[in-house]
Amino acid sequence: TVHSHPYGVQPWGNFLCRDEDIRLSRSPGLGSLQHFTDELLLEVLGWLGGPCLTRMQSVSQAMYVFVNHDKLWRTLVLEAFQGDFRFHRCWKETFIRRCSKLEAEQLVVHNPIRVRGFFSDVLYQPWLCGTSCMQRSWLKTDNVDRRSALTCEEFVAQYDIPNRPVVLTDVMSSWPALQKWNREYLLSACSDTQFACGPVTMRLADYFRYADAAHEERPLYLFDCKFGDKAPALAA
């Protein structure tokens, strides 16, 4: 099920298939900046800091939509705080809470305003990809071989040389991690350990919080080739 964008952004295809006249909000709301592509305008806004972006959202409805594009705030959080933050609902709220000295319950929850007549594939697609649910029917077609007890010679002859994909189903069957590693165990073993997550390092507990709450087209992935050195219990 596809829900509507929280700020009312629609893909341009909706404008072409509209049943009624819709007053576009982008051009009159941006003034001379209307001549910029959406990508270029986001690039320009990316040079601004949090306080400037917050003030810019009061300029017009169109600017309000652009300024609340969450990728802008993600960049601010990662550049300003690296991995020293706790994710709250979205990157903008995360930035505000991280900068504010107020307690979380004292902050006003941001309720998006839906803007009518705003069309942008650049702003709509990342949101759609980050919030759409994967249908089980999409995974029913499986044309990749699944093999077990495959010898090295068989792998080379049947898959490596022909350049064919294969899923080896028994490679990890003897690994203790396959039975031990779950959220409860990992948090008990290394909750405060810093692991590499994309361009930053984060505490494992903070990463789980982020992974539970974030809805992004390209989320941060925890991938640390030195996890055995940082958390010896995991390498045992």
Asked if residue 187 belongs to a domain, the reply is no
What pLDDT does residue 17 have? 82
Reference 50, options 97, 118, 9; nearest CA is: 97
What pLDDT does residue 101 have? 64
**151 compared with 16, residue with greater pLDDT:** 151
Which pLDDT band, with edges at 50, 70 and 90, does 102 fall under?
low
What pLDDT does residue 15 have? 87
State which of 145, 168, 191 marks the end of a domain.
168
Pair 127, 141 in one domain? no
Pair 29, 127 in one domain? yes
State which of 122, 149, 168 marks the end of a domain.
168
35-91: per-residue pLDDT in tens?
A: 999 999 999 999 999 999 999 999 999 999 999 999 999 999 999 999 999 999 899
166-210: per-residue pLDDT in tens?
A: 999 998 888 888 889 999 999 999 999 999 999 999 999 999 999
SS3 assignment, position 124: helix
Q: What's the CATH number where 111 sits? A: 1.20.1280.50
pLDDT (mean) for 217-235: 91
Q: What are phi and psi of 101, to 5 degrees?
A: -95, 0
Share of the chain above pLDDT 70, in %: 94
What pLDDT does residue 107 have? 63
Say yes or no to pLDDT of 117 above 60.
Answer: yes
Pair 53, 98 in one domain? yes
Residue 88: give the domain boundaries: 12-131
Asked if residue 70 belongs to a domain, the reply is yes
Which pLDDT band, with edges at 50, 70 and 90, does 213 fall under?
very high
Q: How many CB atoms lie within 10 A of CB 216?
A: 17
Distance (Å, whole) CA 193 – CA 184: 15
Pair 88, 154 in one domain? no
Pair 91, 154 in one domain? no
State the burial class of residue 73 (Cβ atoms within 10 Å of its Cβ: 0-12, 13-18, 19+).
Answer: buried
Asked if residue 191 belongs to a domain, the reply is no
State the burial class of residue 85 (Cβ atoms within 10 Å of its Cβ: 0-12, 13-18, 19+).
Answer: buried
Pair 126, 17 in one domain? yes
Pair 65, 41 in one domain? yes
What pLDDT does residue 141 have? 78
pLDDT (mean) for 89-97: 91
Asked if residue 225 belongs to a domain, the reply is no
CB within 8 Å of 66: residues ≥ 6 apart: 38, 41, 42, 45, 123
Distance (Å, whole) CA 144 – CA 164: 9
Pair 61, 17 in one domain? yes
